[in-house]
């Protein structure tokens, strides 16, 4: 639906439900904190940003909010080949299986890892967010 | 029985659909949606390996980093798309060929 719909707003709505479904999968995988973060950041932030982008890049008077695709045949064939290759690889590979027990508290573990083992990537991610913020503000500023 | 393979296949399906969107859509915002799908596929794989593959909470932390990357990327990409729209009057990415000879 996200990639096939003719109407861009329909695509955005389909993306909303896709992200909600992925959050549900995270809950099934014992990752409740990631599921909540997914809903907050993706559904609350990125999707609103995308809808803003749609609204700002189409004239309000232009009712035709549709858009077309190109070369669907070739692209579909290539993507189908990639998907079948990935699926056969997944089904054949001897994955390492660990016997895990359901964790009692995920947030505490994530916080400990984030502040001890992954402190440098954490700080780098914060600097990246700052740079992205400044870059986006600079790019979208009116030049006078 | 729902195990690792089914989650990995769902991730592969989501990745393929996102790639299809990236290579076939003409609208810049729609291409951005395809990129979001691809990042979500990667996240599903991380969390699935965290649950089944003994990756434990490192997978969760990496998924968080991927979400942060996605937020930054969406902000910058939408700013670029707005600039393209202001300069060219269209966001069809195959018409943004000013650098072509």
* pLDDT tens, position by position, B67-89: 998 889 888 888 888 888 888 77
Buried residues in A96-114 as b, exposed as e (16+ CB within 10 A): eeeeeeebeebeebbeebb
Domain B4-88 sits in CATH 1.10.287.3510: yes
Q: Which of A50, A110, A139 sits opposite B29 (nearest CB)?
A: A50
Q: Which of A34, A67, A71 sits opposite B30 (nearest CB)?
A: A67
- CA distances to A14, A17, B57, B59 from A109, rounded to whole Å, are 33, 29, 7, 12
pTM across the whole model: 0.85
B29 to A133: CB separation less than 8 angstroms, yes or no: no
Query: Which of chain B's residues have a Cβ under 8 Å away from the Cβ of A29?
Result: 7, 47-48, 50-51
Prediction ipTM score:
0.83
Digit-coded pLDDT (tens) for A100-134: 677 777 788 888 888 888 899 899 999 999 999 89
B64 to A37: CB separation less than 8 angstroms, yes or no: yes
Query: Which of chain B's residues have a Cβ under 8 Å away from the Cβ of A28?
Result: 2
Report DSSP state, residue B89. Answer: S
Which structure tokens are listed for B8? Answer: 């990995």
A26 to B47: CB separation less than 8 angstroms, yes or no: yes
Which structure tokens are listed for B96? Answer: 């943004």
Query: Which of chain A's residues have a Cβ under 8 Å away from the Cβ of B30?
Result: 3, 8, 11, 67
Interface probe for B, chosen from A34, A93, A99, A107 (most Cβ of B below 10 Å), is A34
Digit-coded pLDDT (tens) for A85-100: 988 888 888 877 777 6
**Position with higher pLDDT, A6 vs A77:** A77
Domain extents for chain A? 107-144
- CA atoms B65, B68, B74, B79: torsion sign: negative
Query: Which element (helix H / strand E) includes B74?
Result: helix B56-88
CA distance B81 to B90: 9
- The pLDDT of residue A66 is 53
Q: Which of A15, A56, A132 sits opposite B75 (nearest CB)?
A: A132
Half-sphere exposure of B19 (CA within 13 A, CB side): 18
Instruction: Report, in angstroms and rounded to the nearest whole number, the Rg of chain B calculated over CA atoms.
Output: 17
B37 to A18: CB separation less than 8 angstroms, yes or no: yes
Give chain B's mean pLDDT: 84
Query: Which of chain A's residues have a Cβ under 8 Å away from the Cβ of B60?
Result: 31, 33-34, 106, 109-110, 113
Digit-coded pLDDT (tens) for B37-60: 999 999 999 988 888 877 778 888
**Residues constituting chain A:** 144
Domain extents for chain B? 4-88
How many residue pairs bridge chain A and chain B with CB atoms within 8 Å of each other?
A: 212
Instruction: Report, in angstroms and rounded to the nearest whole number, the Rg of chain A calculated over CA atoms.
Output: 20
């Amino acid at each position: 639906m996200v990639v096939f719909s003719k109407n861009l707003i329909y695509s955005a709505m389909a993306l909303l439900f896709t992200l909600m479904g992925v959050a549900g999968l995270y809950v099934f995988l014992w990752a409740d904190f990631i599921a909540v973060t997914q809903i907050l950041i993706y559904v609350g932030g990125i999707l609103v940003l995308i809808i803003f982008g749609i609204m700002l890049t189409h004239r309000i008077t232009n009712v035709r909010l549709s858009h077309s695709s190109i070369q669907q045949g070739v692209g579909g064939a290539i993507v189908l080949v990639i998907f079948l290759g990935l699926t056969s690889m997944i089904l054949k590979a001897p994955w390492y299986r660990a016997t895990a027990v359901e964790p009692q508290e995920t947030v505490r573990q994530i916080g400990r890892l984030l502040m001890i083992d992954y402190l440098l990537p954490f700080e780098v991610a914060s600097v990246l967010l700052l740079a992205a913020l400044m870059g986006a503000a600079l790019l979208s500023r009116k030049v006078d | 029985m729902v195990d690792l393979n089914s989650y990995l296949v769902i991730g592969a399906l989501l990745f393929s659909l996102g790639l299809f969107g990236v290579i076939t859509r003409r609208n810049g915002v729609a291409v951005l949606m395809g990129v979001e799908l691809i990042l979500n596929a990667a996240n599903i794989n991380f969390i699935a390996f965290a649950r089944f593959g003994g990756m434990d909470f490192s997978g969760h932390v990496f998924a968080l980093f991927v979400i942060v990357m996605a937020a930054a990327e969406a902000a910058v990409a939408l700013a670029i798309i707005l600039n393209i729209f202001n300069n060219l009057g269209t966001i069809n990415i195959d018409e943004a060929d000013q650098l072509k000879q």
